[in-house]
Amino acid sequence: MKNIISIAILSIAIFNSCNKTKSIDESTEISSIENGLVAAIQIKGEIPEQYNILERMNYHMVPGVSIVVVKGGEIKWAKGYGVANAMDGRKVDTNTIFQAGSISKPLAALASLKLVEEGKVDLDQDVNKYLINWKIPENKFTNNDKVTLRKLLTHTAGITVPSFPGYNQKDTLPTIEEVLNGKGNTPAVYVDTIPGSIWRYSGGAYMVMEKFVEDISGLCGVRPIRFI
């Protein structure tokens, strides 16, 4: 778990660094990213200390990292760092497969907030009014307080299923409706506490949010399911 969190922190720092980089050539851009990691918390008025990616990997005990920079919808460059297998020392390269896991959540959230920005949905409306062929089961917890997009995004919707164990590459992947109905390898997704009453990490909430985005946009996305 510590390594997953560390990779997420590195990914966010790298993303921020990419936004600030206006390089003349690729090598300059790569060097800027490799040596331009900054802390998540910065103090106003102070110049943020910058870190080297290998140094941070060693500090957080992250064995391997992969970076891909996309520009104009196409891969501009990719590079691997560290090892993919600590047992045999196999190095990370551009073909190494990583578990995306919850690092995908910020991108999923961005997709839903884009719909809000376009005026297609309301952050505080009952999401069941937007969902089409699957809806959150109503029960005593949702009688007065409904599940909204805001609550799904902030892990306060009272939705079950904290995380998903993933599937092997040879497994047949269930549909999103099957996952939500507990027909995959996890229990069904439902509300078991009053929406808005507590904060509780919920992968199930983001699965509902993905279905929400698909139904509103009419586009079928890639399910954020990790492979093991």
Indicate whether 9 and 107 sit together in one domain: no
Please provide the average confidence, as pLDDT, over all residues in the chain: 85
Indicate whether 117 and 78 sit together in one domain: no
> Is-contact 82 59, C-beta < 8 A?
no
Whether 228 maps to a domain, the answer reads no
Q: What is the mean pLDDT of residues 40-52?
A: 89
Indicate whether 115 and 209 sit together in one domain: yes
Kindly tell me the burial class for residue 65, based on how many C-beta atoms sit within 10 Å of its own C-beta (0-12, 13-18, 19 or more): buried
- Say if pTM beats, i.e. exceeds, 0.95: no
Whether 227 maps to a domain, the answer reads no
Element holding 26 (H helix, E strand): helix 26-34
- Please tell me the distance from the alpha carbon of residue 60 to that of residue 97, in angstroms, as a whole number: 20
End residue of a domain, out of 48, 79, 98: 98
Domain containing 198 equals 103-217
* 177-226: pLDDT as tens digits: 999 999 999 999 999 999 999 999 999 999 999 999 999 988 765 444 44
- Please tell me the distance from the alpha carbon of residue 157 to that of residue 142, in angstroms, as a whole number: 10
In three-state secondary structure terms, 213 is: helix
Residue 10 clears pLDDT 70, i.e. is over it: no
Whether 157 maps to a domain, the answer reads yes
What confidence score (pLDDT) does residue 24 get?
Answer: 54
How many domains are contained in the chain? 2
- Please tell me the distance from the alpha carbon of residue 96 to that of residue 98, in angstroms, as a whole number: 7
